[in-house]
Structure 1
């Protein structure tokens, strides 16, 4: 339960309801608090009720979860497909021409870790969500299922932008500077006997093409020139 609370908080949700939990003190158990890993506010605000009907107060669209489709009951869809359809409902129209209303209270129903979902509970749902998994091994623990559904719901209702470092304003080296660096590198390659000046083949033209594609900055050119300088110094010591 602690891991499920953590999964909710990571995705920006905090409305957790437990229906007739196995342990009355489940929210205060040491393991629960440890696995919540800082999501204590979700545990503190969690509601504990005796029946599913109590938990569904104010809910007008219930999504149950199940690993495999059932022969009878609500339609089965993957979370992303259903969420996309659900959030497009205000612009859709029913068979009688009436506009379909987007639900205001959406809830997600998960079964217990040990026994899963009861059929009678699934029948109360508008849809049964099935997370796409390996067809030969699709068993997810409760917290993992909560995390995946919460992630897809977050993407559907309000995608968060990933913070990325602002690009640094690097000064690109001009062609004259790059050519001077390549001349320096050529001297170093000759000094360490990597390049035969009498049979250079296409090494330097290819390095020219490499630098043209790379568009090195001034700092990167300085690094390469420093390497060439060190190579020349090492070669000079070897000949002393």
Structure 2
């Protein structure tokens, strides 16, 4: 079962320059969805500050919405104070409205992340800082006092008429953009690279099609009207694969097997 609390001073997981902090989260499903959003982007460090339910990490809805990210829940910590959740972090990003009186600068995520990943944060010494993304409760968001602790406030560029994001959706968006800024993950091809047909194969196909089209009665060899050169240009634009050449030659063979009664 995931722990309900741990030493606030416990070190962050190795090789993880990022911490996600949820303040007073109300819905267990959002905690599970956050864990899932973090895991797919390769992040592991989750800290909850005074969640509504002390056993939220082990609740059925939490585990169900985590959908395979149980290791994130097992590693997660619960603390009483935001300052404990931010221990060890050198750059704090709030996800809230900037207070009207004063507060940290409001930044667009991708712009700021490019700077952070390049070591442009204060005191970063050209290394990626330990970044914390802090999210307020679903009902109240973040208090001004909590926002004041941040180095920047992140503003996700949403439609001006409707900017309401579910907590886990906001986590996913920021986790994706931050991972991309850190270099991203390579996309694994699911199919083999195509074997492109060479010029000789295309010419063999054209010769075969010419015979079959004459046999079909579609092409008059006495008045070809540049049909074959036009097909040559079509195939060049299409960029045929070897498999596609085989398919088209199979069609040509089927045409050649037809007799007058079949047409």
- Superposed CA offset, 1:185-238 (max 9, x none): 123223334334454333222002223444545543332221111012234442
- Superposed CA offset, 1:93-119 (max 9, x none): x9xxxx764574321100112222222
Corresponding residue of 1:24: 54
CA contact (8 A) 2:118 2:128 kept: no
Corresponding residue of 1:88: 118
- Superposed CA offset, 1:173-193 (max 9, x none): 443x53342132123223334
Question: Which residue, out of 208, 211, 226, partners 1:187?
Answer: 211
Does residue 52 of structure 1 match 2:71? no
Corresponding residue of 1:117: 142
Does residue 12 of structure 1 match 2:37? no
2-side partners of 1:127 and 1:224: how far apart? 60
Describe the SS at the equivalent of 1:48.
Answer: strand
Alignment of 1:164-179 (within 5 A): 164=189, 168=193, 170=195, 172-175=197-200, 177-179=201-203
CA contact (8 A) 1:65 1:108 kept: yes
In terms of fraction of residues, the more helix-rich structure is: 1
Describe the SS at the equivalent of 2:158.
Answer: coil
Shift of 1:52: 1.1
CA contact (8 A) 2:37 2:175 kept: yes
- The alignment's C-alpha RMSD in Å is 2.6
Question: Which residue, out of 132, 143, 161, partners 1:136?
Answer: 161
2-side partners of 1:30 and 1:152: how far apart? 30
2-side partners of 1:135 and 1:16: how far apart? 30
CA contact (8 A) 1:61 1:103 kept: no
Structure 1 unmatched runs, 5+: none
2-side partners of 1:224 and 1:166: how far apart? 22
CA contact (8 A) 1:6 1:39 kept: yes
2-side partners of 1:223 and 1:192: how far apart? 18
Please give the TM-score of this superposition, normalised by the length of structure 2: 0.77
CA contact (8 A) 2:35 2:73 kept: yes
2-side partners of 1:9 and 1:184: how far apart? 54
- Superposed CA offset, 1:39-61 (max 9, x none): 10111111111121221222222
**What is the number of residues matched between the two proteins?**
231
Corresponding residue of 1:238: 262
Question: Which residue, out of 224, 232, 243, partners 1:200?
Answer: 224
CA contact (8 A) 1:60 1:105 kept: yes
Moved more, 132-141 or 229-238: 229-238
Does residue 209 of structure 1 match 2:239? no
Structure 2 unmatched runs, 5+: 1-30
1-side partners of 2:232 and 2:183: how far apart? 47
Question: Which residue, out of 98, 109, 112, partners 1:79?
Answer: 109
Corresponding residue of 2:185: 160
Describe the SS at the equivalent of 2:145.
Answer: helix
